[in-house]
């Protein structure tokens, strides 16, 4: 069976490029912000903190941004000082009430707002009672050591309605200066084998791995950072014919994402399948006699391609590594044992440390979200 035959039973996803975590704390700087957006970006969210005075004017900035940047979708959100944890972006589908919902969450449940009662269940209940089409997605931000313990992430997932608490920043933002580049991609808690992402997959549910800029336009005179879509970005798999906000939110909730640093790797296909059927990123594989398959194009030389996960619900590790590949197109396979239960995800690290100027030189990572393995014969 060839790869193209495998791919024939479903049309390939179109991967849209997004950034769900950016800031502008000066209404006069929206034009400057727009000037820094990469033309490859398809959607962006403005996610200011609730304790900043400008936050309750964010709806004006979002309206201005929608006027000034019409080549993509603008979303409205908040970077929540989340109860019992670090920061979490809560991003709303476009709707007349989008800002009101973000303001209510902050006033009610933010750790840094006077009069608020920071309570996980209360905050999540407020979001759960919204009509489904107005309900946001939540992701855990910059999970450096000490920011987001695995059990707190699990608590949020347990107490939220389905699809609300959907993912994690796999890599740190701020990759334009040392606040982001000081972290090693092999050990950063968000992406390390057996780290926070992998502990979240132990629940056996879809989970989205994400990469965002955490761009602050109002700090650019003293602290260079990459604008939205220039470096860190989230790829979201949508049907070729549907690039709507609804399709993007559906993909985020389904764990159908990749976390990418730079634009050097194009994922063509990744699945677990046999002669009859296959599961793609975010899907759950339920069969035997399977192979994992990945095909991608890279403009950079590659340091390593790692299959990460578990076949027996133990803690996740690197299952297999292919090292030192040239630039170009690659197809890799991995046999999946019958009865496998767990998950499988892919990490690709570049050999080149070249990043867009004037950022620092450092390795670049590409991380897929997982395919879940749920063999019925286990």
Nearer to Zn ion, 79 or 283 (CB): 79
- Residue 355 makes CB contacts below 8 A (sequence gap 6+) with 175, 231, 262, 361, 362, 364
CB of 351 within 8 A of CB of 366?
no
Closest distance of CB 307 from Zn ion, Å: 32
214 binds Zn ion, rule: CB under 5 A: yes
Residue facing Zn ion at closest CB distance: 214
Query: Residue 55 and residue 344: Cα distance in Å, rounded?
Result: 39
Q: Which of 264, 181, 267 is nearest to 226 (CA)?
A: 181
Query: Residue 233 and residue 277: Cα distance in Å, rounded?
Result: 30
Nearer to Zn ion, 25 or 79 (CB): 79
How does DSSP classify residue 110?
Answer: -
Q: Which of 221, 173, 166 is nearest to 19 (CA)?
A: 173
Nearer to Zn ion, 107 or 216 (CB): 216
Q: How many chain residues bind Zn ion (CB under 5 A)?
A: 2
Nearer to Zn ion, 89 or 238 (CB): 89
CB of 12 within 8 A of CB of 269?
yes
Nearer to Zn ion, 48 or 155 (CB): 48
Q: Which of 356, 88, 317 is nearest to 212 (CA)?
A: 88
Q: Tell me which stretch binds Zn ion (CB under 5 A): 97-105, 159-167, 214-222, 318-326.
A: 214-222
Q: Tell me the chain's radius of gyration from C-alpha atoms.
A: 20
Closest distance of CB 27 from Zn ion, Å: 18
Nearer to Zn ion, 176 or 206 (CB): 176
> Which two tokens mark 260?
């990418």
Closest distance of CB 87 from Zn ion, Å: 6
Please report, as residue ranges, which positions from 75 to 114 form the binding site for Zn ion (by CB under 5 A): 79
Nearer to Zn ion, 38 or 79 (CB): 79
Closest distance of CB 172 from Zn ion, Å: 11
Q: Tell me which stretch binds Zn ion (CB under 5 A): 73-81, 221-229, 249-257, 337-345.
A: 73-81
> Which two tokens mark 353?
């440390």
19 binds Zn ion, rule: CB under 5 A: no
25 binds Zn ion, rule: CB under 5 A: no
Q: Tell me which stretch binds Zn ion (CB under 5 A): 33-41, 71-79, 237-245, 279-287.
A: 71-79
Q: Tell me which stretch binds Zn ion (CB under 5 A): 147-155, 210-218, 219-227, 274-282.
A: 210-218
Q: Tell me which stretch binds Zn ion (CB under 5 A): 72-80, 123-131, 270-278, 291-299.
A: 72-80
Closest distance of CB 355 from Zn ion, Å: 20
- Residue 345 makes CB contacts below 8 A (sequence gap 6+) with 197, 198, 201, 209, 307, 308, 309, 367, 368, 369, 370, 371
Closest distance of CB 358 from Zn ion, Å: 21
State the greatest distance between any 2 C-alpha atoms of the chain, in Å, as a whole number. Answer: 62
How does DSSP classify residue 312?
Answer: B
Rounded to 10°, the helix 98-109/120-128 angle is: 160
Interface residues with Zn ion (CB under 5 A) are: 79, 214
């Amino acid at each position: 069976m060839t790869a193209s035959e495998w791919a024939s039973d479903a049309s390939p996803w179109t991967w849209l490029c997004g950034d769900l975590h950016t800031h502008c704390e000066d209404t006069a700087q929206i034009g400057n912000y727009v000037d820094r957006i990469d033309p490859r970006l398809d959607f962006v969210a403005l996610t200011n903190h609730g304790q900043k005075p400008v936050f309750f004017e964010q709806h004006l900035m979002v309206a201005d941004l929608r006027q000034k940047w019409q080549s993509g979708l603008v979303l409205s959100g908040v970077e929540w000082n989340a109860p019992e944890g670090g920061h979490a972006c809560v991003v709303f589908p476009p709707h007349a009430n989008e800002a009101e919902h973000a303001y209510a969450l902050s006033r009610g449940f933010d750790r840094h707002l006077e009069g608020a009662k920071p309570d996980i269940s209360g905050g999540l209940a407020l979001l759960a009672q919204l009509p489904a089409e107005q309900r946001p997605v939540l992701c855990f931000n910059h999970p450096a050591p000490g920011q987001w313990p695995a059990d707190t992430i699990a608590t949020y997932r347990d107490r939220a309605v389905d699809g609300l608490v959907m993912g994690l920043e796999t890599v740190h933002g701020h990759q334009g200066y040392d606040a982001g580049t000081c972290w090693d991609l092999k050990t950063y808690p968000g992406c390390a084998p057996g780290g926070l992402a992998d502990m979240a997959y132990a629940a056996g549910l879809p989970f989205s791995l994400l990469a965002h800029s955490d761009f602050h336009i109002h700090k650019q005179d003293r602290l260079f950072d990459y604008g939205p879509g220039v470096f860190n970005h989230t790829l979201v798999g949508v049907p070729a014919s549907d690039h709507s906000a609804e399709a993007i939110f559906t993909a985020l909730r389904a764990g159908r994402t990749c976390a990418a640093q730079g634009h050097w790797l194009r994922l063509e296909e990744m699945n677990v399948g046999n002669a009859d059927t296959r599961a793609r990123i975010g899907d759950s594989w339920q069969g035997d006699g399977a192979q994992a398959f990945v095909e991608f194009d890279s403009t950079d030389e590659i340091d390593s391609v790692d299959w990460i996960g578990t076949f027996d619900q133990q803690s996740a590790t690197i299952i297999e590594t292919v090292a030192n590949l040239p630039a170009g197109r690659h197809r890799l396979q991995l046999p999946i044992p019958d009865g496998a239960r767990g998950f499988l995800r892919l990490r690709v690290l570049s050999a080149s440390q070249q990043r867009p100027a004037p950022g620092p030189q450092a390795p670049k990572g590409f991380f897929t979200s997982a395919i879940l393995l749920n063999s019925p014969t286990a």
